Amino acid sequence: MRELDGILIPCFEEHKGRIFHFKLGTATKELLLDVPPRLQGSAQKAGWEEVKLKTRPSSDGYVAKVEDLEIVDSYNPVFAEDETIDLAM
């Protein structure tokens, strides 16, 4: 098992007759992710977030089987109700 860090990217890609709904974007490449049903909901919530995955690589090196998923950093902007943003500055 190995750990990978990167951005979890929602997708709809076919590889060897299978449809994949997520891939991991790293500094050097993108890997399609085989996400088990027990982690599908977490993966959907973590789309476009930086994640840390525990994976098992496939023999072709293009697909990784996800064993565990952890969100590393989440960006959720929060604005006060009366706060306004002047974009004309």
**Residue 32 to residue 64: CA distance in whole angstroms:** 6
* Residue 36 belongs to a domain: yes
Q: What is the pLDDT of residue 24?
A: 95
* Residue 63 belongs to a domain: yes
* Residue 80 belongs to a domain: no
> Model confidence over 25-84: pLDDT tens digits?
988 899 999 999 999 999 998 889 999 999 998 888 899 999 999 988 655 544 444 444
Q: What is the largest CA-CA distance in the chain?
A: 55
Q: What is the pLDDT of residue 75?
A: 56
pTM score of the predicted model:
0.78
76 vs 22, which has greater pLDDT?
22
* Residue 64 belongs to a domain: yes
* Residue 12 in this model has a pLDDT that exceeds 50: yes
